[in-house]
Structure 1
Amino acid sequence: MPEHVLITGGAGFIGTRVARRLVDAGHTVTVLDSLIAQVHGDDPEVTSPLLRSLDGVADVVRGTVTSADDLRRALTGATLVVHLAAETGTGQSMYEIDRYVEANVGGTAKLLDILANEKHDVRRIVVASSRSIYGEGSYRTEDGRVVHPPHRADAAMAAGDFDVHMPGEGPITVIPTDESAKLHPSSVYGITKQVQESLIMTVAPTIGIEPVALRYQNVYGPGQSLKNPYTGILSIFSTLIRQGKEINIFEDGLESRDFVYIDDVVEATFRAATVADAAGGVFNVGSGVATTVREVVDALFSAFGSEVPTRVSGNYRLGDIRHNVADTTRLRDVLGYEPEVAFRDGVARFVEWVLSEPLEGDSYQRSLDEMASRNLLK
């Protein structure tokens, strides 16, 4: 049955593609987005290709999830909500705390308050959660037990020890983190995503709405913002390579993430919205493969066909985790989907797109300076 889908934050990198996927499947889409300058530029109708990509695809309501009136306008006729709207960026969240909490927690609370107290047609909410809620994730001890270590200590990292340790244990080895793992985020952003997910998963069933939570890993691909310094290292490093500038590799370069290509994220999100068995489920959305920062740099150099100087600096950011890789078993077993795009193939597609885009200014250094001035970058 065709749905009328509201996508909050739907003019963003993920939301615009989810909108197209839903419309291609016969559904109707409304997008609610604040069109912030950090993502869309100062004049979105002119400066935002993402916004223009929604022409003829979705009705766009310019507004914010922190406004109940904007939410009411956007919810008119909606039968399904894909809740993507959020402030993103681990580092920035550590000093713009009120803004992150207001948008991520407050916006979700306003959405649920309306659905709990006013007439509507919504039957399912899919919320974009995050791998950040796991903190350091899952590790295995020498005798085979699964443990969830505490956050790394500033003093240890200052001494050059970037590894994760479990008090009272010998060496521990990172393993894929499944959805039953302990939730203990290490940043304000992670805390807000945990609360956002918990609000949806707890409140929705009590008001007759099916909740689904998607714990996105590190999403990348064509269309990712190249001017927002908080969107991830692939965009940041690509800009530095194009500018011929040195890449500063934090820690020892062996920290790793689970990079998942945008097309795989879109398909997983579409299935979470439309597959009956998804109701009530929590799903990791990742590739299931860990990639180190050094491997990221090598893949980018290969795709660009050129290199710039690199420096493994030992710098580190408070709130960052060491490793992350998702266990995607539940995604496969319940939603019937396995990510298809290998990292190097995805990077090649990403770089091909990057080279077709204007070269952006270097706002990344400014973001680092902001963190350093607050003693969050060491």
Structure 2
Amino acid sequence: MKRILVTGGAGFIGSNLSLKLLSKGYEVTVLDNLSKQIHGECPDVTSPLYNSVKNRVNFILGSVTSREDWLQALDGVECVVHLAAETGTGQSMYEIQKYVDVNIGGTALLLDILTNTKHSVKKVIVAESRAIYGEGRYYSDDLNEYVYPAERLDEDMRKGDFEVKYPGCRKPLRLVGTTEESLVHPTSVYGITKQVQGQLVHLVCSSIGIAPVSYRYQNVYGPGQSLSNPYTGILSIFSTRIKNGNGINIFEDGKETRDFVYIADVVDATILGIEKEEANGHVFNVGTGVAIDVLTVANTLIEKYGIKVPVAISGNYRLGDIRHNYADITAARTILGFEPKWNFSDGIGKFCKWVNEQEVQEDKYEDSIEEMKRKGLYK
């Protein structure tokens, strides 16, 4: 398979993937709507990601919600890497129809076309998300089994009690890596849409003789990610705050953790899914297998930039946020031969070096907080 379609191919993951595919001799088509939230008002001027690919790929300005755009983009393509999506857990809780229409509707439209028209597609790779798991996997010493806590209660978090709970457990639960077989119980509209995307792709593609593969990416970061989008990526949000000399508001108690995976590792894992037949039919977590707490992230960024700003552990929280989650990547290691090459220390250093070379972006964080307050999601 040499002709690849990357939807969302002008985005952060998509542009990096497209460039790596080009370097390996693939022919790449990109379908992207150049969302203003990601690419700015004038992408030719404001989007380095778009500019990095626009003259090197077969670029189609269009939407995954348009049948005509899909038909144009699929012409002659042998593999689809479906990355295009509305992203952001908080924003998804009030832009519900938009997230469902794009993420679920766009995927359904692709599969409808593949089922009912002539094409050359042999494989579909879809980006799910760690958000489909909701809370991560834990071990209960009281029950001597793995458990999956439900969404945390507003009444508990209002009192500053942020840790997860599980019925019948008195001892603190022990966080362990989330496997692909872990319970899927998303706590956001975004997570639900990514869950359904993956289910649709595996169900339909398997029934029509197309190989399905899905990736559950953890928190992807690195040079090139949007520094102006206040809805996704705490590394970008914190960096823009620091660069503007603004303080950082740490939600909850700062001990909440995520698995931060460097963009180059995400690209390598995705290409393994394109090239390896062994990937067909599988779901893969893509992360580092290491949990990093948010307070560590903030302090590391402040140190790297050499700009001292106040850090407030405020106890604020967002409804729908999870407490902890990090990936068990055994399946990717075993089946794909994937091994992350970047640890957090090296990756964050590379990211900060790149940020220092960029113009300081307008800090829109407070606007996003006010919007969540109006929707009753920020406490």
> If the TM-score is normalised by the length of the shorter chain, which range does it land in?
over 0.9
In the aligned structure 2, how far is the partner of 1:311 from the partner of 1:280? 45
Partner-residue secondary structure (3-state), 1:51: helix
Contact 2:245 2:307 in 1 (8 A): no
Measured after TM superposition, the shift of residue 307 of structure 1 is 2.0
| Alignment partner, residue 148 of structure 1 | 148
In the aligned structure 2, how far is the partner of 1:25 from the partner of 1:343? 27
Measured after TM superposition, the shift of residue 26 of structure 1 is 1.3
| Alignment partner, residue 158 of structure 1 | 158
Contact 2:17 2:267 in 1 (8 A): yes
Measured after TM superposition, the shift of residue 56 of structure 1 is 4.1
| Alignment partner, residue 132 of structure 1 | 131
Alignment TM-score, normalising by the size of structure 1: 0.98
Contact 1:19 1:57 in 2 (8 A): no
Measured after TM superposition, the shift of residue 273 of structure 1 is 1.2
In the aligned structure 1, how far is the partner of 2:208 from the partner of 2:20? 28
**After TM superposition, what 4+ stretches of structure 1 lie above 6 angstroms from structure 2?**
none
| Alignment partner, residue 338 of structure 1 | 339
In the aligned structure 2, how far is the partner of 1:113 from the partner of 1:341? 39
The yes-or-no answer on 1:208 pairing with 2:209 is yes
In the aligned structure 2, how far is the partner of 1:360 from the partner of 1:301? 17
Paired amino acid for 2:227: L
| Alignment partner, residue 81 of structure 1 | 80
Alignment TM-score, normalising by the size of structure 2: 0.98
The yes-or-no answer on 1:367 pairing with 2:373 is no
Q: 352-361 vs 96-105, which deviates more?
A: 352-361
Aligned length: 377
Q: 299-308 vs 115-124, which deviates more?
A: 299-308
Contact 1:127 1:200 in 2 (8 A): yes
The yes-or-no answer on 1:121 pairing with 2:131 is no
In structure 1, the gaps of 5 or more residues are none
In the aligned structure 1, how far is the partner of 2:267 from the partner of 2:122? 21
The Cα RMSD (Å) is 0.9
| Alignment partner, residue 5 of structure 1 | 4
Paired amino acid for 1:35: L
In the aligned structure 2, how far is the partner of 1:68 from the partner of 1:12? 21
| Alignment partner, residue 272 of structure 2 | 271
Measured after TM superposition, the shift of residue 173 of structure 1 is 1.1
Q: Deviations over 1:149-198 (max 9, x none)?
A: 11101110011100000012122111100000000000000000000110
In the aligned structure 2, how far is the partner of 1:115 from the partner of 1:54? 26
Q: 273-282 vs 80-89, which deviates more?
A: 273-282
Paired amino acid for 1:234: L
Measured after TM superposition, the shift of residue 24 of structure 1 is 1.3
In the aligned structure 2, how far is the partner of 1:374 from the partner of 1:26? 47
In the aligned structure 2, how far is the partner of 1:62 from the partner of 1:125? 21
Measured after TM superposition, the shift of residue 75 of structure 1 is 0.5
Measured after TM superposition, the shift of residue 352 of structure 1 is 0.7
In the aligned structure 2, how far is the partner of 1:247 from the partner of 1:21? 35
Partner-residue secondary structure (3-state), 1:77: coil
- Percent identity, aligned pairs only, is 55
